A and B are shown apart, each in its own frame.
Chain A
Amino acid sequence: MCGIAGLFIKSSRLRPELGALLSDMTSALCSRGPDSAGFALYTTSEPGRVKLTLTSVNGRRDFQTLGEILSRSLGAPILTTHRYTHSVFTVPEEEVAQCRAWIVENAQDIRVLSEGSNLEIYKEVGYPDDVARKFDIRSISGTHGIAHTRMATESAVTTTGAHPFSTGPDQCLVHNGSLSNHASLRRELRQDGIVPETENDTEVAAGYITRELRRGRALGDALKSSVNDLDGFFTFVVGTKNGFGVLRDPIACKPAVMAETDDYVAFASEYRSLTGLPGVANARVFEPKPATPYFWEH
């Protein structure tokens, strides 16, 4: 099972509603993945600054203090904003590497869920409607976003095992399906300097896309080659700073439906997830074809 919802907004007037629209889309997919949920949202950016979304594996909530210590230690201003079990640290671009190194050294319970100028990721175990409410996803505005409801098959039900996964700056990926060659691919990725942090198969797929992008390939090409290099069942929705892509495996077991209007492109595992979108009754509704990458960019 698992459910995916994705929304790529073309017209600026819908941007304030990104979180609300994505929450409603996700709500219709609770039964497909009742054990965890996650949201990746591309929101505002500040020039010269990078956002890190953090969570703690031992339940730490006092991110304020952590932010202050980190700020003093780096000698750089850090803005912290908290949502439920997560916090977004906005740091100067040139301090990102140092900041991440400091976290690894001094705050071992902290996991960095995303890094990027626009991307924020919020994911947690629990019923998707509850997760969305606790993070107050409805209040978030932005240009595009991807959500996932999880019914775990390949790894434990934990916060870091929930989707979306981010393995590169402003990149994220969600997955419906299961991969069977993730162990060997994980070893390969480690050799290439991409170290997956969980035992989850989807993180390996995200890492694969990141590696291909690092090699200078276009997202469309990276998606295309993943059809040959990833073994298993998958429908992927990926996000980048400016774009939004969809790929289904050649067998196309996992459901996918899309709706496009002048205002947005929306993806969902089931049509009922799309019914609350404005003007969807007159949208172009279609199923993405198997083994064919689809991509939209701002």
Chain B
Amino acid sequence: MNQVELGSWSGRDIRTGRGPSDPFTELDLSALSLRELNARLQALKVPTNETFWRVQNPNGAHAVAVGIDAPIDVEVAGHVGYFCGGMNKCARIVIHGNAGQGVGENMMSGLIHVKGDASQSAGATGHGGLLLIDGNAGARCGISMKGVDIVVKGDIGHLSAFMAQTGRLVAFGDAGDALGDSIYEAHIYVRGKVEGLGADCIEKELRDEHRAELFALIEQAGEAHKIDVSEFRRYGSARKLYNFNIDNAGAY
């Protein structure tokens, strides 16, 4: 559990470099409808002068700041519901609270930084960019990920990286049962204990190129030199379930 002080916003975000003294455009969800809010953000085209936005009173609303296609920064001042930042392209979104299920679902690029916990299916089917979660992520984190990088500073729930195709999933804490079930080529790094591995997922040797890859991800999470990459273990596909083989029928 990562305790987040709601609405507190002090100092500059480690990733966006934005701070509360920078001029921003405010979108207040107690006054605007969700459609109006998303329409404003989705209408932004490159180049724009309105590069810094703040969403007030999200109060657990679903689909906040989805479908953005511009290199802007968006701060969300509180907890959000489902699918926050879904389909994100280029934008850097910081959530000062917890996120409901499917945060960063199908994100293409950019950054989504959750300061609290994320519910299930965080980063589902994500194609690119970085999803950074300061707290824990629930079940099915990185399900069917297709190139997104996901760094979770806490634990990840069961069935994480289920059918993950490519991209990297890093957990500083523990992983739940059936990690990497039916995984393809995504890379998984877990520092804590793994409750169990899913079908066709095995532990693999952590070689130098993996240490370098992991270091770069930890650096992006703002934790370089605070955490030793050699404390992590690497997991990936045994590549036995790629094609149907009658001898493997019991594993399907």
A contact set with B: CB distance below 8 Å: 250-252, 255, 257, 270-275, 281-282, 284-287, 289-290
Contacts and interface: CB of A to CB of B under 8 A. Distances in A.
A255 B101 contact: yes
Contacts of A250: 158
Contact of A287 (B60, B62, B138): B138
B6 A281 contact: yes
5 contacts: A270-B100, A272-B61, A286-B1, A286-B117, A287-B138
Contacts of A275: 59-60
B119 A257 contact: yes
A273 B62 CA distance: 12
B105 to A, nearest CB: 15
Nearest to B99: A271
B100 A252 contact: no
Contacts of A284: 1, 3
A251 B138 CA distance: 11
B60 A272 contact: yes
B139 A271 contact: no
Interface residues of B, number: 25
Given A275-B60, A285-B117, 12 more contacts: A252-B157, A270-B82, A271-B100, A273-B60, A274-B60, A275-B59, A281-B7, A281-B78, A285-B116, A286-B1, A287-B119, A290-B158
Given A270-B81, A285-B116, A252 B138 contact: yes
Contact of A252 (B6, B82, B139): B139
Nearest to B78: A281
Given A272-B59, A281-B7, A285-B98, A290 B139 contact: yes
B160 interface: no
A285 B79 contact: yes
Nearest to B120: A252
A124 B7 CA distance: 39
A257 B78 CA distance: 15
Contact of A271 (B5, B81, B138, B157): B81
Contacts of A252: 120, 138-139, 157-158
Interface of B: 1, 3, 5-7, 59-62, 78-82, 98, 100-101, 116-117, 119-120, 138-139, 157-158
Contacts of B120: 252, 255
A271 B100 CA distance: 8
A270 B6 contact: no
Nearest to A286: B1
Contacts of B59: 272, 275
Contacts of B100: 255, 257, 270-271
B47 to A, nearest CB: 35
Contacts of B6: 281-282
Nearest to A274: B60
A289 B120 CA distance: 11
A285 B78 CA distance: 12
Return the 6 tightest CB-CB contacts between A and B, nearest first. A272-B60, A271-B60, A281-B6, A275-B59, A271-B79, A252-B139
B184 to A, nearest CB: 22
A12 B241 CA distance: 58
Contacts of B138: 252, 287
A274 to B, nearest CB: 7
B62 to A, nearest CB: 8
A290 B45 CA distance: 43
Contacts of A251: 139
A272 to B, nearest CB: 3
A1 to B, nearest CB: 13
Nearest to A289: B157
A252 B120 CA distance: 9
A268 B117 CA distance: 16
A285 B81 CA distance: 13
A260 to B, nearest CB: 10
A73 B101 CA distance: 56
